[in-house]
Structure 1
Amino acid sequence: MALNGPQKTVVQLVSVVVVMGGLAWASVPFYDWFCRVTGFGGATGVAEAGSDTILDKTIKVRFDASKERGMPWEFRPVQTEMELRIGETGLAFYEAYNPTDRPVAGQASYNVAPYSAGGYFDKIACFCFEEQVLQPGERVQMPVTFFVDPEIVNDRDAKYVHTITLSYTFYEIDLPEGYAALDAGEKTNTN
């Protein structure tokens, strides 16, 4: 069956809408994958273990902390910078404190600056991989274990980087179900 002019136009328009919807749906995971692979936008890598190669060249890593407006926690790096050899495993801590009278859940997002170093900054373990729940008045120190990949010295742009800044921003998120039920029970229990 051949389509006449208006029917053909409708089919073409519906096809365009479906293709555009599919591209919009796929763009977020594709962009996330692209950033992880290339280090674009300061995205970092994740490694199972530290580097096998440690160079004599050192690099300074600075630590930065911020929080979303409305996030009630206090959040800061325990130390503001460290110098380590490229390929050497580093361990840094961030401190979070919940000054409220209720449990608060948070999730950290992160990036690395300059962006050219993002693909060479590898985390082995990080508090940012999981959501965090702090009880009222709780103070915790959260570790991040990392190294700078020795391949950074072979990158035409990143090899000139002498300082990397690792930044975290904490966002308040909904409490996990178990915590939310406990919190709601405490608010409704007046006995």
Structure 2
Amino acid sequence: MSAGRLGVAKLVGISLAAFAFTFSLVPLYRIACEKVFGIRLDNSAADASAVASAVPDERWVTVEFDGTVNSKLPWGFRPNATRMRVRVGEQYEATYAAHNNAARAIVGSATPSVAPARASGYFSKTECFCFTAQTLQAGETRDLPVRFIVDPALPPDVNTVTLSYTFFKNDVLTDRLAAAAPSSTVPRSAP
């Protein structure tokens, strides 16, 4: 085999390996979210419409809310209500209040968790502030919403589900924000 053909064969092999790796990222991401972080990802829009169109069960559960902040983030963060009674299969909205205590804008990212762990597969967030990084200006307070549905298939012995968030400082985005901010200059007095 000539050097040119060998090079083309290697290039085709590398391309196929890259394609296979890229194709496997979606299931690996789903596994990581569900097993490591306890986040359930819906399979398709059809699943979401099936949950929405299903006749809700008469079962009620209590959802408790909790919020903490990593020590490196100078924010206050708490749920506006600590608990809510919800009917399984219906969508609800809760809000958390976040306040930036710092003298400059800071970007934070929230990590959710659901307890007990076996309930995490039955707790679906349809809209959440945790899906994107949040920027709060100095002294700013903002309500952050989360919309969720508790699946009617939740095990019958689970009557209380706790949704917790921990906010962390996003150093990379905070540094970019600070670098993009206009620098303040002090005017010099005339000599």
| TM-score band w.r.t. shorter chain | 0.7 to 0.9
Deviation at 1:40, TM superposition (A): 6.2
Which residue identity does 1:52 align to in structure 2?
S
Determine what percentage of the aligned residue pairs are the same residue: 36
Match for residue 18 of structure 1? none
Q: Which of these residues, 91, 95, 98, is aligned with residue 97 of structure 2?
A: 95
What is the TM-score with the length of structure 1 in the denominator?
A: 0.72
Q: Which runs of 5+ in 1 are unaligned?
A: 1-27, 153-157
Question: 5+ residue gaps in structure 2?
Answer: 1-24
- Equivalent runs, 1:1-191 vs 2, <5 Å: 32-36=29-33, 38=34, 42-45=38-41, 51-53=52-54, 54-152=56-154, 158-173=155-170, 174-175=172-173, 179-183=177-181, 185-186=182-183, 189-191=185-187
Q: Deviations over 1:77-102 (max 9, x none)?
A: 00001001001111000000012110
Displacement after TM superposition at 1:45 (Å): 3.5
Alignment partners' CA distance in 1, 2:118 and 2:39: 10
| Counterpart-to-counterpart distance in 2, 1:112 and 1:172 | 21
TM superposition outliers: structure 1 runs of 4+ over 6 Å: 28-31
Task: Report the CA distance between 1:178 and its aligned residue.
Answer: 6.2
Task: Give the whole-Å Cα distance in 1 for the aligned partners of 2:174 and 2:71.
Answer: 21
Classify the secondary structure of the residue corresponding to 2:95: strand
2:60 and 2:85 in contact (8 A); partners too: yes
Distance 1:31 1:161, change over 3 A: farther
Structure 1 counterpart SS, 2:72: coil
Question: What SS class does the counterpart of residue 74 from structure 1 fall into?
Answer: strand
- The amino acid that maps onto 1:163 is T
Cα distance in 2 between the residues matched to 1:171 and 1:56:
38
- What residue identity is the alignment partner of 1:73? W
Q: Is the 8 A contact 2:106 2:174 kept in 1?
A: no
1:23-54 alpha-carbon deviations (Å, 9 max, x no partner): xxxxx987652254x56653234575663221
Question: How far is 1:105 from its partner?
Answer: 0.3
Q: Is the 1:60–1:84 contact (alpha carbons within 8 Å) kept by the matching residues of 2?
A: yes
C-alpha distance in structure 2 between counterparts of 1:40 and 1:105, whole Å: 24
Quote the Cα distance in structure 1 between the aligned partners of 2:83 and 2:139. 27
Cα separation, 2, equivalents of 1:85 and 1:170? 28
Shift of 1:149: 1.1
CA contact (8 A) 1:39 1:45 kept: no
